[in-house]
Chain A
Amino acid sequence: MDNFSVDASQLISRNSEKLAMELVFAEVGSDNGLLPINSLLAELEDLVSAGPSTLPAGFLAGLTSGRQLVDECLEAGTFQPNSLAALRAWVQWLQSIHDAITTEATIPLWIGVGPLSCSVGDGSLPSTPPSEPGESILLNLANDADLLKEFVSESMEHLQNIEAGVLILELNPKDSSTLASIFRAFHTFKGGSGFLNLAPINQLAHELESLLDLLRQEKLQVNVEIISLILDGGDMLKRFITAIDRQLCSNNAPEPIQFETSSLKARIRNSMAGPGEEEFIFQGDGSERVNQQVKSNSGKALHQYASVKVPIEKLDSLVDLVGEMVIAQSLVAQDQQLKSIASSQLTRNLTQLSRITKELQKTAMSLRMVPVRAVFQKMNRVVRDVAAKTGKEVELILSGEETELDRTIVEEISDPLIHMIRNSVDHGIELPNARVATGKNKKGVIHLKAFHRGGNIIIQILDDGAGLCKKRIEEKAITSGLIKPDHNLPDKEIYSLIFAPGFSTAERVTDLSGRGVGMDVVRRNIDKMRGKIEISTLEGKGTTFTISLPLTLAIIDGLIVQVGHHRYIIPTLSIRESFRPEPDQIFTLQEKGEMISVRDQIIPLLRLSDCFGVTTSITNPAEAIVLVVESSNERRCIMVDRLLGKQEVVIKSLGETFQSNDALAGAAILGDGLVGLIVDADALVHLNKRQYAHAA
């Protein structure tokens, strides 16, 4: 036993003590301690799959039967008389292992208790059948809401792990650590759903778990059918989980959740039928062999970071408070009376305060940041599905998954990315034959990258496909009346026509893309996040989409402007330029519609004072400042009295009282502690258009 690691033996001894402690309080018919026991057992199992393969066979077999005992209880929801007795004996056995290790004696074999040792296999178990398996789920929101919430959030993680794992399996079907982690994910599903009485999920997860078990023991080979079974199974579980989640969020009385699972289960059973009936390996070499292959790092990847789950409201209020502190700090630092005290001690302390405040602000902001990894990994699936449907061969290469973005942006970016990746596979990458004909590799490559540039996060999608066809875009734009035949637009603007609503050059409409809805939605979504999207393309070589996004939605860089006695903040991102117009740049139309000519471009002028109904002494544009703002290819000149400065501000919601006011995007506390209103430049541009339409 000299190679039995000290860590392992300590863990066994510690967990067996804890298990014994939990079991003291366990009672037949109650579930007290059932979950802790489950997790203690899971730790031991992790040890087995993560640790070196030097664990003795007797221990592994014993662990398997312990798992069976706990599962029986989990499935029934409470401790059962027989399994509880067996569990107690089992824990004693576990404790004896530790003694055996320290005295270097042979590890005693777990021989079980009475008829139970024969286990479920021969059916002699005094049956404690789980309540009649129904095909629909009726949630018990009143009692289980908290448990269900936890189950849902954990399940989401497991589903992601499953999906990520499957994609690894596709490349390396024999990767035993991945098989083990998918197995564990389904297993946890089974345990949790059984405990919460979610019979259909439980049954499906059980079938999937059995399937994975066979794969794990190499009684079945991973093939295309099995991969799609696992994915379908994961999807089905996801449908259940989303349905549960929806009911948890709504206040309505729970309705039965029902999805057709029997055909899926039948398919799984068919796949498993090959190697014969399910059999439990009790002492066989099989399980040990699997464990020998398990790499030492398996299972750890999932628990790489120790983390705490915190409700987002708490985080938001922390960020708010820190923002206030920064303002309060700057008020103190700029206080005239304090400044007049010429004390080096005070100056030092103030500098220290400001340093700490800045650090604190940075940390608070970073709390809301999450890596884009989860979203990027979703794209693997998208590429795989679309490529399979279109008969193309595509490889997706991810980089910069660890780049961090504001949580809200990560959520919002997912849909546009899916659209664009789909497009890249469907339109960008050519069919294998066509690629070979043009001397490219049969397999198309799509790069999905994320990185920092300046104060922004850049997400790039590069494909080595056919590129955009300028001529086809031009033709299509001319026939649909977007541009005139005699236009002389630069290439870049022609390419960006694909973001126009309803624009599609796809020759045929597939269920994937080509309906012309998509790129305009992508553009709109990105605009909403105050981001920008650009295309560069080389016909025959490929296309690159570059999305630049702000680091966070909570802070914006704003230009503070003055109109009359009022101050407004205009997001710098939507401002193209600002200048004081010369009198000969200003034109009017019917003495009403004012326009400014900016480098041969005629842009309508909009007086902020008129928009907001405030009075100002400056009425002549030549005495004022004009800001050119842009929103979805439309430009407006906005006239303000003066520019007061540039400042980073924390956006605050104005609340529902002012939600009818769409020209405002929110409010922010300015340096002097007063509230400044943030102007929604997009809304202003369109507001102006509406007014024109109204006047006409």
Chain B
Amino acid sequence: MTNVMEGQARSNRSGMDKYLTFKLGREAYAVGVLKIREIIRMLDITEVPQMPAYVKGVINLRGKVIPVVDLRLKFNLTDVRTTERTCIVVVQADLKRNSGSHLGLIVDAVEEVISIPPCDVAPTPDFGSAISTDYILGMAKVKGTVKTILDIDKVVSTEGLIASAEIDS
């Protein structure tokens, strides 16, 4: 019994510092693997009117209608071409009122799942007001490169969407 418990605890702990890394343009980002539900290829997205540009619309995920956000537009990257490697990462985001909504994120390419021990995560540097860093958990140093760890709940929080929609309109 205790062995099982320990085993679970260990796997939980290891799950905690496992991250999925992906590319947006030339930049590398990471999201905690426990948040990821699945990765699907790019498919036709139904546009939803009167939404900010980075909300691409909705897709049919096996009968569930889930929103899709283009992270490249969200982060104001310039190159938003759709290629062979472009795909949708479906995450489970805990939005404020409704915990556990599914949400699709468009990324340029998914790389791998890696372990990032907490000691390798540096705090987010302060960019002043130029870049909002609310949704960044930290910067991970992996094999000589730097990957930004995203707090997915904050990136796509409803408040964020509505606020941006108001600004856009």
Contacts and interface: CB of A to CB of B under 8 A. Distances in A.
A179 interface: no
Contacts, number: 78
Interface in B80-102: 95, 97-98, 101
B21 to A, nearest CB: 25
A674 interface: yes
B122 interface: no
A675 interface: yes
A667 B58 contact: yes
Interface residue range, chain A: 20 to 34
A82 B161 CA distance: 67
B64 A676 contact: no
A657 B158 contact: yes
Residue of B58, B101, B158, B165 with highest tally of chain A CB at under 10 A: B58
B50 A661 contact: yes
Nearest to A563: B49
A323 interface: yes
Contact of A613 (B49, B55, B64, B67): B49
A667 B67 contact: no
A655 B161 contact: no
B162 A675 contact: no
A660 B162 CA distance: 7
Contacts of A320: 63-64
Overall SS of chain A's interface:
mixed
B98 A661 contact: no
B47 interface: yes
Interface string B124-149: 00000000000000000000000000
Contact of B49 (A611, A674, A676): A611
Interface string A211-239: 00000000000000000000000000000
A215 B57 CA distance: 66
Contacts of A521: none
A433 B95 CA distance: 63
A658 interface: yes
A674 B44 contact: yes
A652 B49 contact: no
Contacts of A166: none
A674 B47 contact: no
B65 A667 contact: yes
Contacts of A669: 60, 63, 65
Interface in A310-362: 320-321, 323-324, 327
B150 interface: no
A612 interface: yes
Contacts of B55: 657
B103 interface: yes
Contacts of A323: 63
Interface string B45-66: 0111111000101111011111
A155 to B, nearest CB: 30
Contacts of B57: 675
A656 B161 CA distance: 10
Contacts of B95: 656-657
A5 to B, nearest CB: 53
Nearest to A612: B49
Residue of B63, B103, B162 with highest tally of chain A CB at under 10 A: B63
Contacts of B101: 655-657
A214 B156 CA distance: 65
A676 to B, nearest CB: 7
A320 to B, nearest CB: 5
B98 A324 contact: no
A675 B60 contact: yes
A324 B46 CA distance: 17
A566 interface: yes
A659 B96 CA distance: 13
Residue of A321, A323, A663, A667 with highest tally of chain B CB at under 10 A: A667
B98 A674 contact: no
A612 B169 CA distance: 12
A196 interface: no
A566 B47 contact: yes
A125 to B, nearest CB: 47
A664 interface: yes
Contacts of A116: none
A320 B64 CA distance: 8
Nearest to A614: B49
Contacts of A660: 161-162, 165
Contacts of B98: 655-656
A656 B55 CA distance: 13
Contact of A677 (B48, B60, B161): B48
B48 A652 contact: no
Contacts of B51: 658, 661
B169 to A, nearest CB: 10
Contacts of A643: none
Contacts of A675: 46, 57-60, 65
A109 interface: no
Contacts of A674: 44, 46, 60
A656 B65 contact: no
A327 B60 CA distance: 12
A108 interface: no
A165 to B, nearest CB: 41
A1 to B, nearest CB: 57
A669 B66 CA distance: 11
11 contacts: A323-B63, A613-B49, A614-B49, A652-B64, A657-B67, A657-B158, A658-B58, A659-B158, A661-B48, A661-B49, A661-B51
Interface of A: 320-321, 323-324, 327, 566, 611-614, 652-661, 663-664, 667, 669, 673-677
Interface of B: 44, 46-51, 55, 57-60, 62-67, 95, 97-98, 101, 103, 156, 158, 161-162, 165
Question: 8 closest Cβ contacts across the A-B interface?
Answer: A612-B49, A324-B63, A675-B46, A657-B67, A667-B65, A652-B65, A675-B58, A675-B60
Given A655-B98, A677-B48, 18 more contacts: A611-B49, A613-B50, A654-B58, A656-B97, A656-B158, A657-B55, A657-B95, A657-B156, A657-B158, A657-B161, A658-B51, A660-B165, A664-B49, A669-B65, A675-B57, A675-B58, A677-B46, A677-B58
